[in-house]
Amino acid sequence: MFPPLYTNSAEPATRGEFTRNVIDDAQGLIVRDLIVIRNDRLVLDGVSFALAPGAALMLTGPNGAGKSTLLRVLAGLRRADSGTILWNGAPVTDPVAQGTLVAYLGHRDALKPGLTLRENLTLASEAFGQSPDAAIAALGLAELADLPARMLSAGQSRRAALARTILRQSPLWLLDEPSLGLDTASIARLGDVLAAHRAQGGIVIATTHVDLPLPGCETLALRAPDFTKTVPGGLAAPDAARAPEDWF
């Protein structure tokens, strides 16, 4: 098991401890010294953590702290200005290019309103040769499966988006506020789904403003960025030279 060492500051003591204890070729996910600058503002300032297979991390912090930004970097939807991501000891430069490594649930449910719930999930699952039935059942959606997505409530729609995320059967789940709008029974189902994934060696990273059903998880509390400080022109590191149009 990795040591639960995290930081989103550049404090030398924490960085030193992290470096001493984490072995680069270990199984699982290692994130080291991630720096992200948005609009000349330092949003993530040296985020580091390590998660072994079966582990989970809850990302907390005030609005604007960078939780979604961190997930999007890990999902390959945005580049970091500097830092390293290792998966099973190998550097991950583009998670999207790794195919099924990552399953990402963003803020938006992004269902096609004219298609039924099942059609939405089938569309997503065909590329992976999976049937959507297990995911539909796991999120308690069988009775709603033939309704057009436009007829789903906010919580039902969130469950459908969760089902679409999990059917990829990716080892690394990145979930942005997965419990948003879910009722008590649905949160319990979400807990079962997360536990089953972790029991198979999967890793979960989830942002949240409320408690999530992730027993034994680690927590990384990101701090609000200091918006009185600017980083004009970004960092001197080569990554910072990428054109803004390369970024999502």
Ligand X SMILES: Nc1ncnc2c1ncn2[C@@H]1O[C@H](COP(=O)(O)OP(=O)(O)OP(=O)(O)O)[C@@H](O)[C@H]1O
Cα–Cα distance for residue pair 38/203, rounded to 1 Å: 27
Show Cβ contacts of residue 214 under 8 Å, excluding neighbours closer than 6 positions.
Answer: 56, 58, 191, 194, 204, 206
Q: By CB under 6 A, name the one of 7, 69, 179, 208 that touches ligand X.
A: 69
CB nearer ligand X, residue 167 or residue 204: 204
CB nearer ligand X, residue 40 or residue 192: 40
Cα–Cα distance for residue pair 24/21, rounded to 1 Å: 10
Q: Does 208 bind ligand X (CB under 6 A)?
A: no
CB nearer ligand X, residue 61 or residue 202: 61
Provide the token pair at 231.
Answer: 């980083």
Q: Does 79 bind ligand X (CB under 6 A)?
A: no
Estimate to the nearest angstrom the gap between the alpha carbon of 219 and the chain centroid: 14
CB nearer ligand X, residue 68 or residue 219: 68
Closest contact distance (angstroms) between CB of 224 and ligand X is: 7
Closest contact distance (angstroms) between CB of 136 and ligand X is: 28
Q: By CB under 6 A, name the one of 50, 51, 56, 65 that touches ligand X.
A: 65
Phi and psi angles of residue 26, each rounded to the nearest 5 degrees, phi first: -65, 155
Q: Does 166 bind ligand X (CB under 6 A)?
A: no
Site for ligand X in 30-49 (CB under 6 A): 38-39, 43
216-243: burial string, b at 16+ Cβ within 10 Å, e else: ebbebebeebeeeeebeebeeeeebeee
| Pairing of the two strands 172-176 and 82-87 | unpaired
Contact 31, 66 (CB under 8 A): no
Q: Does 68 bind ligand X (CB under 6 A)?
A: yes
Site for ligand X in 120-149 (CB under 6 A): none
Q: Does 178 bind ligand X (CB under 6 A)?
A: no
Closest contact distance (angstroms) between CB of 37 and ligand X is: 9
CB nearer ligand X, residue 69 or residue 186: 69
Closest contact distance (angstroms) between CB of 81 and ligand X is: 13
Cα–Cα distance for residue pair 95/72, rounded to 1 Å: 10
Q: Does 67 bind ligand X (CB under 6 A)?
A: yes
| Pairing of the two strands 218-221 and 203-207 | unpaired
Binding residues vs ligand X (CB under 6 A): 38-39, 43, 61, 63-69, 207, 225
